[in-house]
Amino acid sequence: MLQATGIEKNYGELHILKGVDLQISAAEIISIVGSSGAGKTTLLQILGTLDKPTKGKLFIEGKNPFELNEKALAHFRNQRLGFVFQFHQLLPEFTAQENIAIPAMIGGKNQTDALKAALHLLDRFGLAKRAQHKPEALSGGEQQRIAVARALINDPALVFADEPSGNLDTENANALHELFFQLREEMKQSFVIVTHNAEFAQMADRSLQMKDGQFV
């Protein structure tokens, strides 16, 4: 599914990643833990093709995404990868349904079909009644579930999540963690999740610890 070999990232004299190797199988949930500054988010951005490594190789579904031109890479990212961030990053002027549908429309799906698919996900997440609400009218837990639905709209192979429950209370955090496992069973996606939540980290199929730009 994903294979990263010798991933390094330097900013001038600052070495953020120091030769990271990682292999991820289909339908696998991996947690990455470590102190601030360990390189977790930088690694996630490279695995998600949002940033390029200084050195090393990355293959996703047998393809090196960094060999694609910018337009092709953007299309690959839109179709095969999903992203969830600590702060939901929903667009405030759009409804929950529209926010979820946007990546599908960017990917070429017509508006009617995209909105229909978004409504299906809202129903799956128990939020169908909130479809026409804008983010400001939603609770923190609802906003983050909308963000997860948006990440899933194009049925990606891999979902990357950076502290997805970091801004939630315990009840909503636990509900979100359970959702990831349900989705893995139902939709067979792989998840790579950076988290400070020790309990959730241990629930993952594998929990990897980063220190000083390397796995330890």
Tens digit of each residue's pLDDT (9 = 90 or more) over 30-55: 999 998 888 899 999 999 999 999 99
Q: Which domain holds residue 54?
A: 2-215
The residue-averaged pLDDT of 82-96 equals: 87
Tens digit of each residue's pLDDT (9 = 90 or more) over 130-162: 999 999 999 988 998 899 899 999 999 999 998
pLDDT number for residue 18: 93
Q: What span, in angstroms and rounded, lies between the C-alpha atoms of 106 and 101? A: 9
What CATH number is given to the structural domain containing 65?
A: 3.40.50.300
Dihedral sign for Cα 208, 210, 214, 216, please.
negative
pTM: 0.89
Domain count for the chain: 1
- Asked if residue 88 has pLDDT above 80, the reply is no
Q: At what angle do helices 140-152 and 111-124 cross, to 10 degrees?
A: 130
* Token digits of residue 185: 């069973």
Helix (H) or strand (E) holding 176: helix 170-187
Q: Higher model confidence: residue 102 or residue 198?
A: 102
pLDDT-based confidence at residue 172 (cuts at 50, 70, 90): confident
